[in-house]
Chains A and B, each alone.
Chain A
C-alpha cells in the first residue's frame, strides 16, 4: 500500500509546537481578560495510512487540537504542515484545496446536519463545491457513497430527522467522504451512540481506512474504542501531550503515570474485579491557571519536587514511544 520509507520520512500532517490560547472574561478594563491555555506546545506527526488516537478527559484540549489541525480554528503559535505545505496561516481561499483533502466528523450527528435539507444535498453540496464529480456522475457518486457507509440509496431523498443516531453518523461519514479526502479528523464520532450501534460504526471506520486508504485522527474519551481503531495513541492532559506510542504497547505498558491511572479507571465487564484501580485525587486543574511544573504534578501519586518546579518535555523513550515525564514508569530511575 505505502512503502515504509515514505511513511517514515513524510508525515501527512505535522504540528510543531502548536499552541492555542483563548481569552475569556475580557471587559473594558485593561488587562482584565484571562488566558485559557487550551493547547500548549503540541508537536505531533500523523503518517499516511495510520490512525492516530487522541485521548484525554474533558478539558484536555483534544477537540481544540483537532480543530486547529483542520484549520477550523487558528492556532496562536507554532506551525502546521500538511503534505509538505505550510498551512499555519494560509487564507481561506488558499485553504480550499487543502480543505478538500482533510475532513472533520463530529460527535453529534444530528447537530451537524441541517434538518431542512435532504441527504442528497447535505452530502452532494461538497461534491459540487469542490467539483469532485460533474453532471450525471454526481448522482452515481452519491449512490456509491451511500453504499460505502452501509445505507440504502433511497435514503438520499430523506431528511436527517428520519434517521436513527447511528444512521445519522453514517450520513456524517458519507458527507466527509464525499470529497475523497486523505485525512479524516473524527471528534468523538461514536460517543453519542448506543453500545450495539457504536460497535457497527467503529467497524465501519476500520473498513473504510483499508478500502479508501484513509488516514485518521480519532479523538475520543473512550479508551477501549480508541484502542480498537488506532495504530498509535496520543494521550493529552490539560492541553499538552503526555505520552504517545504504538497502541498495544502503550496500553500494556503505560509509562506516564497519568496514562496508567486513566487506563486503570476504565470499568471493564471482562475480568471483573481482577484489576487494581488507581483512583486519582482531585480533578483536572483549570486551564486558566495550569500548574507551574508538570501539569499532572498536582494529582500525580509519584510527584517529586522537580515535578512541581520544572515542566518535562515530550522525549523519545524507545520503540516509538515518547513520554513527558521526569520519572517515567518502568525506567530504572523511577
Chain B
C-alpha cells in the first residue's frame, strides 16, 4: 500500500493496536483498537488522564511491557519494519538507537549509582563499536547540546547531585545519544516546575529542529500540548477518541471529552469563573469500560445511541469517535466552551 510512496510513508504506523493484561480477575483490555501515524520530524501529542492507556500504548510499541502478563495485538511498522513480530534481540538493537525514550520522572529515571556520563556512554557503546573515551566525549557533547552548564564536569556527577531540571536534560541527552529517528517522551515535564518546564519544552522544540527527530509526547496537560504539538490525539479509557491537527483540536474540538478537558483548566487571564465546568465522575478502570462509548457515563450529552460503539465522524483529517453530528456538535460545543471562554 505504501510501497509506491515511500517518501511520504510515515515513520511510525500503528494499526489496530490492542493491549490486554492478565490479572487476578482474568484478562483486562487496556488498549482497544488504537491506530495512529507519526511522520518524520513531527511532534504528535497523545493527551489523556491517568489510566487512559497512553503510556501503555507506547511501552508496548517498545516491547517494554512484561511479556508474561501483557498481550499485544495489531500491526506496528517503524520505517517499514514490523516491531511486534520482531525477535527481542532485533528490537533491542532498535531501542535506544532509533527510538529514544524520555521518561516522566527524572528523579527516578537514572540509575543512582552511576555517573550520568557513564550512563550515556553505556547506551552509545551498546549500539556502536566505539571506545570508552570516545563514548564519554560524545556524552559531553550531548550534555552541552541539551544546555547543561559545565558539561565536562557534569558528566562525572551522580544523578542525585543534579536538580530535577538538570536530570531531565541528562535523560534527554541520553535519549538523543544515538541520533534516534523517533523520541518517545512520557510526561517529560510533569515532575518539573513551570519555569523549568518552559525551558525543557523549548529544548524539545529546538531538538526537533536540530536533530530532525519525530517526537511522540504523552501528557495530561493541555497547556503543554498547545505549546509544542503539531498533531494531537486525545485518549480516553484505552481508545483514541479524537485526532487532528493541533489548531483544529484547539479551535474546534469535536469530542465532548476534549471539551470537558479544556473547560476544566482554569484560565490564567481574563475573567474568573464562579465555578469550573468539571466533568462529573471519574475515568473507568480498565475492568469496567462500558462496551459502547466509554465516555457516555460522564457525558452530559449521552443518549441511547451511546450504548453502541460510536461511529467515526470526520472533518478533513480531523476525526472523532462520537454520535454527535456536525450541526448538533457546534451547538453543544458552544454551550460548554462558550460559557467557559466568554462568561
Contact = CB atoms under 8 A, between A and B. Distances in A.
Assess A/B contact in the complex (Cβ within 8 A): yes
A277 B275 contact: no
Interface string A197-210: 11110110011000
Interface residues of B, number: 48
A64 to B, nearest CB: 16
A267 B276 contact: no
Interface size range of chain A in the complex: 35 or more
A263 B275 contact: no
Contact of A223 (B163, B194, B264): B194
Nearest to A282: B149
Interface string A260-279: 01110111111011000101
A200 B273 contact: no
Contact of B223 (A164, A167, A266): A266
Contacts of A228: 266, 272-273, 276
The A interface, classified by DSSP as helix, strand, loop or mixed, is helix
B267 interface: yes
B193 interface: yes
Interface of A: 57-58, 164, 166-167, 194-200, 202-203, 206-207, 221, 223-225, 227-228, 247-248, 251-252, 261-263, 265-270, 272-273, 277, 279-280, 282-284
Given A195-B222, A199-B266, A203-B278, 7 more contacts: A197-B282, A198-B264, A202-B278, A206-B275, A266-B268, A273-B226, A283-B163
A251 B272 CA distance: 11
Contact of B198 (A248, A251, A277): A277
B49 A195 contact: yes
B202 interface: yes
B279 interface: yes
Interface of B: 49-50, 149, 163-166, 193-199, 201-202, 220-227, 246-247, 250, 260-262, 264-269, 272-273, 275-280, 282-283, 298, 341
Contacts of A247: 272
A164 B264 contact: no
Given A227-B266, A265-B197, A268-B223, A279 B202 contact: yes
B197 A223 contact: no
